[in-house]
């Protein structure tokens, strides 16, 4: 193996098997973490593979031809993902988001969508089922995904200029194909489509206003995200961050804006509407104005590790509970025990990395353990 190859298979990301409590909370219980935050969203990564090599997420220098991705048998099976998701829904989760890597690279994804779409909350209502994708295969998949029960998609698109976009995805992929995928999603009823742009100073920040002009009147919700220090492979620097306040000033110098109220507690985007009503804009300021205080999201990796923060360095191995692990003396558990283990992990949660970073302490205790990569647990 090349010295620069970083393998997920070697379990370099620390994880422990959750303890199973003697008594599990009943289905329909509300569980709170140590800061009083409830569970609401579960983001489910279905693959560690992607066909793009965006430098802020999967830089080609690391994720090259020698990189060891997970074997298929190490990934959670769809039935296992559905089982974990059902436990989360029983603990109050109301939104499931499928992520990657690039989720559309996972074969048969429509089958998983169909399984998750049948989950119901304690009141009998369906959960919101969404997906984040680079849209490279969305044009041919959108209708099948909608028919399977997917409600909405979010598309990652970091530039509208083809040359800039090809340079950023680093595999010479054309922007026209992504735009075709967005149109197909809208036509299939996966709406409103949200388009996320990660803004980097000196890389694509001059694309902010052109993106607005392109999507005005399209029905798309356009969101600008501050470049974040997720993982350790992207060479993040604070001087590459364009603060949301600066973005708002740039946009406001060209367009009239009116603020919109949040739609749900824990919403990550500060929402604005162009005065003429032609475009909704969101600003996600996870670096300069942290929103840890009401973060209600958990993340499940493709091989069954539960993470409680996008910037986590430690996971909780749910796959061991699902399958059992003879070598470690771990027995597979039933659904009630699985629900209890997840609740206990959430009850102990106190993660607030972005707030600590903003206070000048990027890691509790001053340590700097290796954090999970964005390509590993999704954005």
Using one digit for the tens of pLDDT, what is the confidence trace for 205-256?
A: 999 999 999 999 999 999 999 987 665 666 667 778 899 999 999 999 999 9
Query: What pLDDT was estimated at residue 310?
Result: 79
Query: What pLDDT was estimated at residue 367?
Result: 47
Query: What pLDDT was estimated at residue 377?
Result: 74
Query: What pLDDT was estimated at residue 225?
Result: 92
Burial class (CB in 10 A: 0-12, 13-18, 19+), 92: buried
Query: What pLDDT was estimated at residue 238?
Result: 79
Query: What pLDDT was estimated at residue 1?
Result: 37
Low-confidence ranges of the chain (pLDDT < 70): 1-13, 229-236, 265-267, 290-291, 353-371, 374, 379
Query: What pLDDT was estimated at residue 9?
Result: 40
Q: Which domains does the chain have, with CATH numbers?
A: 14-377 (3.20.20.70)
Query: What pLDDT was estimated at residue 52?
Result: 96
In Å, what is the CA distance from 19 to each residue of 16, 314, 316, 341, 373?
Answer: 9, 15, 10, 6, 26
Helix axes 78-90, 335-347, angle to 10 degrees: 60
Q: Are 67 and 5 in contact (CB under 8 A)?
A: yes
């Amino acid at each position: 193996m090349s010295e620069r190859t970083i393998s997920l298979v070697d379990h370099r990301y620390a994880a422990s098997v959750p303890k199973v409590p003697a008594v599990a909370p009943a289905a329909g219980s509300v569980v709170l973490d140590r800061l009083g935050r409830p569970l609401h969203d579960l983001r489910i990564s279905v693959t560690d593979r992607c066909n793009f090599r965006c430098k802020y997420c999967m830089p080609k220098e690391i994720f090259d031809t020698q990189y060891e991705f997970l074997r298929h048998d190490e990934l959670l099976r769809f039935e296992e993902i559905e089982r974990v998701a059902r436990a989360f829904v029983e603990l109050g989760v109301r939104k499931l988001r499928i992520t990657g890597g690039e989720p559309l690279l996972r074969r048969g994804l429509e089958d998983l969508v169909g399984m998750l779409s049948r989950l119901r909350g304690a009141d009998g209502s369906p959960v919101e089922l969404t997906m984040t994708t680079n849209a490279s295969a969305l044009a041919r998949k959108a209708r099948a995904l909608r028919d399977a029960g997917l409600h909405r998609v979010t598309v990652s698109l970091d530039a509208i200029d083809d040359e800039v976009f090809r340079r950023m995805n680093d595999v010479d992929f054309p922007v026209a194909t992504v735009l075709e995928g967005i149109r197909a999603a809208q036509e299939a009823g996966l709406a409103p489509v949200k388009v996320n742009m990660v803004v980097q100073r000196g890389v694509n920040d001059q694309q902010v206003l052109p993106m607005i002009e392109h999507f005005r009147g399209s029905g798309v919700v356009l969101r600008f995200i501050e470049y974040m220090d997720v993982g350790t492979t992207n060479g993040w620097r604070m001087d590459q961050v364009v603060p949301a306040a600066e973005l708002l000033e740039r946009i406001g110098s060209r367009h009239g804006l009116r603020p919109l109220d949040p739609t749900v507690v824990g919403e990550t985007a500060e929402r604005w509407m162009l005065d003429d009503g032609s475009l909704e804009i969101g600003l996600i300021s996870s670096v300069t104005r942290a929103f840890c205080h009401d973060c209600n999201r958990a993340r499940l990796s493709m091989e069954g590790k539960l993470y409680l923060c996008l910037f986590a360095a430690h996971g909780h191995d749910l796959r061991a509970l699902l399958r059992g692990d003879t070598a470690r003396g771990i027995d597979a558990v039933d659904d009630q025990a699985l629900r209890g283990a997840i609740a206990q992990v959430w009850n102990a949660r106190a993660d607030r990395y972005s707030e600590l970073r903003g206070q000048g302490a990027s890691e509790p205790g001053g340590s700097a353990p290796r954090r999970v990569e964005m390509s590993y647990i999704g954005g």
